[in-house]
A and B are shown apart, each in its own frame.
Chain A
Amino acid sequence: MLEARGLTCVRGEKQLFEGLNLRLSSGGCLHVRGENGVGKTSLLRLLTGLAKPDAGQVMWGSQNISKDPLGYHRDLLFLGHRDGLKEDLTALENLQMYAALDAVSLTQEKALAALWRFGLRGREHLPVNCLSAGQKRRVLMARMLTRQAALWILDEPFNALDVNAVHELKNLIAEQLQHGGLVVMTSHQEVSIPNMQVLDL
Chain B
Amino acid sequence: MNALLTIIHRDLLLVMRRKSEVLTALFFFIVVTSLFPLGIGADAALLRKIAPGVIWVAALLSTLLGLQRMFAGDYADGALEQLALAPQSMVLLVTGKIIAHWIVCGLPLVLLAPLIGIQFDLDASSLYVLMGTLLLGTPVLSLLGSIGAALTLGVRGSSVLMSLLILPLYIPVLIFGAGAVYANSVGLDISGHFSLLGALLILALAFVPWVSSAAVKIAIE
Question: A residues within 8 Å of B by Cβ?
Answer: 48-52, 70-71, 73-74, 76, 78, 80-89, 93, 97-98, 100-103, 127
Q: Is the CB of B88 within 8 A of A89?
A: no
Q: Is the CB of A70 within 8 A of B89?
A: yes
Q: Is the CB of B6 within 8 A of A88?
A: no
Q: Is the CB of B84 within 8 A of A50?
A: yes
Nearest CB of chain B from residue A146's CB, rounded to whole Å: 14
CA distance A143 to B220 in the complex (A): 22
Q: Is the CB of B79 within 8 A of A50?
A: no
Q: Is the CB of B221 within 8 A of A84?
A: no
Nearest CB of chain B from residue A158's CB, rounded to whole Å: 18
Nearest CB of chain B from residue A47's CB, rounded to whole Å: 11
Supposing A74-B87, A89-B13 touch, asked if A84 and B2 sit within 8 A by C-beta, the answer is no
| Complex A-B, nearest 8 residue pairs according to Cβ-Cβ distance, in ascending order | A82-B78, A88-B17, A84-B82, A74-B87, A84-B78, A100-B6, A73-B87, A101-B86
What count of chain B residues pass the 8 Å CB interface test?
25
Nearest CB of chain B from residue A9's CB, rounded to whole Å: 12
Dominant secondary structure of chain B at its interface with chain A = helix
Contacts of B88 in A (CB 8 A): 70, 101, 103
Q: Is the CB of A50 within 8 A of B17?
A: no
Contacts of A48 in B (CB 8 A): 85
Cβ of B83 under 8 Å from chain A:
yes
Contacts of B76 in A (CB 8 A): 82
Q: Is the CB of B77 within 8 A of A83?
A: yes
CA distance A83 to B221 in the complex (A): 17
Cβ of B129 under 8 Å from chain A:
no
Supposing A51-B221, A100-B6 touch, asked if A80 and B89 sit within 8 A by C-beta, the answer is no
